[in-house]
A and B are shown apart, each in its own frame.
Chain A
Amino acid sequence: MDKLNTLIVNGQRRQTTAALGRRLSEVLRDEFDLKGTKVGCNAGDCGACTVLVEGEQQCACLTPLGQVVGRHVETVEGLASGAEMAALQVAFERYGAVQCGICTPGMLMAATVLLRQQPNPTQRQVEDAIGGVLCRCTGYQKIVEAVLSAAQSTPVISDNTGKSVGTSLSKVDAKPKLTGTEKYGADAIPEGALWVRILRSPHHSTKVTLGDFSQIVAETDGLQAILTHQNIPFNRFGIYPVGKDQPVLCDGFARYRGDALVALVGDKNSILNVGLDDLPITFEILDPIRSVEAAKAPTALRLHDDKPENLLIEGTVIKGDVSRQASVVAEGQFKTRFVEHAYIEPEAGWAQMVDGRVEMHVTTQAVHMDRDEIASVLQVEKDQVRVIPTACGGGFGGKLDVSVQPILAVAAQIFNQPVACVYERPESMMASTKRHPSEISCRFSASDDGLLKTAELTADFDTGAYASWGPTVAGRVPVHGSGPYYVPNAEVTGRGIYTNGPPAGAFRGFGVPQAAIAHETMMDDLAQKLGLDRLEIRLKNAIRPGQETATGQVLTASAGMAPCLEALKDRWQSMLNAAEQFNQSTTGPVRRGVGIGAMWYGIGNTALTNPSTIEVGIDRAGRLTLFNGAVDIGQGSNTILIQICADAVGLPASDFSYVMGDSDLTQDAGKTSASRQTFVSGKAAELAGRQLRASILRHVNAGQTAKLSLIDNQLWVEDGVSRHEIDLQEMPAGQRDQVFFGTGTFDPPTTVLDEKGQGVPYATYGFAAQIAMVDVDIGLGTTKVLKIAAAHDVGRAINPQLVEGQIQGGIAQGLGLALMEEYVPGVTENLHDYLIPTVGDMPDMEIIIIEDEEPLGPFGAKGVGEPGLVPTAPAIFGAIRHATGVRVTEAPMLPHRLKAALQEKGRDNG
Chain B
Amino acid sequence: MNEYFRPTNIESLFDVLTQKDWKVLAGGTDYYPAKVGKPLHDNLLDITAIDEFRKISETEQHWRIGATATWTDIIRCELPPEFEGLKAAAKEVGGVQIQNSGTIGGNICNASPAADGVAALLALDAIIEVLSPHDVQQIPIQDFVLGNRKINLSADQIVSAILIPKIKAETLSGRFLKLGSRKYLVISLVMASAVLGFDQAGRICHARVAIGACSETAQRLVKLEAYLMGKRLDADVVAAVDASYVEGLTPIDDVRASKGYRQDVALIVIKRLLMGQGV
- Chain B binds chain A: yes
* A756 interfacial contact with B, CB 8 Å: no
* A822 interfacial contact with B, CB 8 Å: yes
- Contacting residue for B279 out of A588, A780, A833, CB 8 A: A780
Are B1 and A19 in contact (CB-based, < 8 A)?
A: yes
Chain A neighbourhood of B262, CB < 8 A: 896
Are A895 and B261 in contact (CB-based, < 8 A)?
A: yes
Q: Give the distance in Å from the alpha carbon of A133 to the alpha carbon of B256 in the complex.
A: 21
Q: Give the distance in Å from the alpha carbon of A110 to the alpha carbon of B256 in the complex.
A: 28
Given contacts A20-B6, A47-B95, A424-B36, contact A838 B182 (CB under 8 A): yes
Q: Give the distance in Å from the alpha carbon of A296 to the alpha carbon of B254 in the complex.
A: 27
Q: Give the distance in Å from the alpha carbon of A269 to the alpha carbon of B37 in the complex.
A: 10
- Contacting residue for A782 out of B46, B96, B279, CB 8 A: B279
Are A896 and B255 in contact (CB-based, < 8 A)?
A: no
A767 to chain B, nearest CB (A): 31
Are A269 and B98 in contact (CB-based, < 8 A)?
A: no
- Contacting residue for B182 out of A58, A777, A840, A903, CB 8 A: A840
Q: Give the distance in Å from the alpha carbon of A57 to the alpha carbon of B96 in the complex.
A: 7
* A389 interfacial contact with B, CB 8 Å: no
Given contacts A62-B27, A824-B255, A896-B261, contact A910 B100 (CB under 8 A): no
Q: Give the distance in Å from the alpha carbon of A780 to the alpha carbon of B190 in the complex.
A: 10
Chain B neighbourhood of A57, CB < 8 A: 96-97, 100
Size of chain B's interface in residues, with CB distance under 8 A? 51
Are A64 and B38 in contact (CB-based, < 8 A)?
A: no
**Contact string against A for B residues 156-181, beta-carbon threshold 8 Å, 1 for contact and 0 otherwise:** 00000000000000000000000101
**Contact string against A for B residues 1-15, beta-carbon threshold 8 Å, 1 for contact and 0 otherwise:** 100101000000000
* A701 interfacial contact with B, CB 8 Å: no
Chain B residue with Cβ nearest A270: B39
- CB-contacts of A414-440 with B (<8 A): 424-427
- CB-contacts of B74-118 with A (<8 A): 94-98, 100-101
**Contact string against A for B residues 236-279, beta-carbon threshold 8 Å, 1 for contact and 0 otherwise:** 00000000000000000011111011101100110000000101
Chain A neighbourhood of B182, CB < 8 A: 820, 835, 837-838, 840-841
* A828 interfacial contact with B, CB 8 Å: yes
B124 to chain A, nearest CB (A): 24
Q: Give the distance in Å from the alpha carbon of A57 to the alpha carbon of B265 in the complex.
A: 34
- CB-contacts of A779-828 with B (<8 A): 779-782, 819-820, 822, 824, 827-828
Chain B residue with Cβ nearest A65: B4
* A158 interfacial contact with B, CB 8 Å: no
Chain A neighbourhood of B268, CB < 8 A: 779-780, 910
Chain B neighbourhood of A895, CB < 8 A: 179, 181, 189, 257, 261, 265
* B187 interfacial contact with A, CB 8 Å: yes
Chain B neighbourhood of A43, CB < 8 A: 32-33, 36
Chain B neighbourhood of A20, CB < 8 A: 4, 6, 44, 46
* A407 interfacial contact with B, CB 8 Å: no
- Contacting residue for A19 out of B4, B37, B184, B186, CB 8 A: B4
* B219 interfacial contact with A, CB 8 Å: no
* A569 interfacial contact with B, CB 8 Å: no
B205 to chain A, nearest CB (A): 29
- Contacting residue for A900 out of B48, B98, B261, CB 8 A: B261
Chain B neighbourhood of A265, CB < 8 A: none
Chain A neighbourhood of B185, CB < 8 A: 45, 47, 131-132, 134, 832, 838
Q: Give the distance in Å from the alpha carbon of A840 to the alpha carbon of B186 in the complex.
A: 11
Q: Give the distance in Å from the alpha carbon of A1 to the alpha carbon of B4 in the complex.
A: 15
Are A64 and B96 in contact (CB-based, < 8 A)?
A: no
**Contact string against B for A residues 698-736, beta-carbon threshold 8 Å, 1 for contact and 0 otherwise:** 000000000000000000000000000000000000000
Chain A neighbourhood of B193, CB < 8 A: none
B123 to chain A, nearest CB (A): 21
* B230 interfacial contact with A, CB 8 Å: no
Q: Give the distance in Å from the alpha carbon of A427 to the alpha carbon of B37 in the complex.
A: 9
Chain A neighbourhood of B258, CB < 8 A: 896, 900
Q: Give the distance in Å from the alpha carbon of A819 to the alpha carbon of B217 in the complex.
A: 28
- CB-contacts of B29-83 with A (<8 A): 29, 31-33, 35-40, 42, 44, 46, 48, 72
Chain A residue with Cβ nearest B37: A424
* B28 interfacial contact with A, CB 8 Å: yes
* A7 interfacial contact with B, CB 8 Å: no
* B183 interfacial contact with A, CB 8 Å: yes
Are B33 and A820 in contact (CB-based, < 8 A)?
A: no
Are B1 and A820 in contact (CB-based, < 8 A)?
A: no
Are A59 and B181 in contact (CB-based, < 8 A)?
A: no
Chain A neighbourhood of B100, CB < 8 A: 53, 56-58
Chain A neighbourhood of B207, CB < 8 A: none
* A129 interfacial contact with B, CB 8 Å: yes
Are B264 and A899 in contact (CB-based, < 8 A)?
A: yes
Chain A neighbourhood of B269, CB < 8 A: 780
Given contacts A132-B98, A830-B36, A910-B268, contact A44 B181 (CB under 8 A): no
Given contacts A47-B97, A64-B4, A837-B182, contact A42 B33 (CB under 8 A): yes
Chain A residue with Cβ nearest B183: A840
Chain A residue with Cβ nearest B257: A896
Q: Give the distance in Å from the alpha carbon of A113 to the alpha carbon of B72 in the complex.
A: 14
Are B33 and A62 in contact (CB-based, < 8 A)?
A: yes
Given contacts A56-B100, A779-B265, contact A132 B94 (CB under 8 A): yes
Are A425 and B36 in contact (CB-based, < 8 A)?
A: yes
Q: Give the distance in Å from the alpha carbon of A821 to the alpha carbon of B94 in the complex.
A: 18
Q: Give the distance in Å from the alpha carbon of A272 to the alpha carbon of B183 in the complex.
A: 35
Chain B neighbourhood of A22, CB < 8 A: 1, 40
Are B255 and A828 in contact (CB-based, < 8 A)?
A: yes
Are A273 and B39 in contact (CB-based, < 8 A)?
A: yes
* A23 interfacial contact with B, CB 8 Å: yes
Are B181 and A131 in contact (CB-based, < 8 A)?
A: no
Chain A neighbourhood of B46, CB < 8 A: 20-21, 64, 66-67
Candidate in A47, A62, A113 with the most chain B CB atoms within 10 angstroms: A62
Given contacts A132-B185, A835-B181, A841-B183, contact A44 B36 (CB under 8 A): no
Candidate in B6, B97, B181, B189 with the most chain A CB atoms within 10 angstroms: B97
Chain B neighbourhood of A777, CB < 8 A: 279
Q: Give the distance in Å from the alpha carbon of A273 to the alpha carbon of B40 in the complex.
A: 10
Chain B residue with Cβ nearest A109: B97
Are B37 and A21 in contact (CB-based, < 8 A)?
A: no
Are A132 and B39 in contact (CB-based, < 8 A)?
A: no
Please list the residues of chain A having a beta carbon within 8 angstroms of any beta carbon in chain B.
19-23, 41-45, 47, 50, 53, 56-59, 61-64, 66-67, 110, 113, 127-129, 131-134, 269, 272-273, 424-427, 588, 777, 779-782, 819-820, 822, 824, 827-828, 830, 832-833, 835, 837-841, 894-896, 899-900, 903, 910
5 contacts between A and B (CB under 8 A): A56-B72, A62-B28, A819-B181, A828-B255, A832-B33
Please list the residues of chain B having a beta carbon within 8 angstroms of any beta carbon in chain A.
1, 4, 6, 25, 27-29, 31-33, 35-40, 42, 44, 46, 48, 72, 94-98, 100-101, 179, 181-187, 189, 254-258, 260-262, 264-265, 268-269, 277, 279
Q: Can you list the 8 inter-chain pairs with the closest CB atoms, starting with the nearest?
A: A132-B95, A840-B183, A131-B184, A896-B261, A19-B1, A43-B33, A20-B4, A424-B37
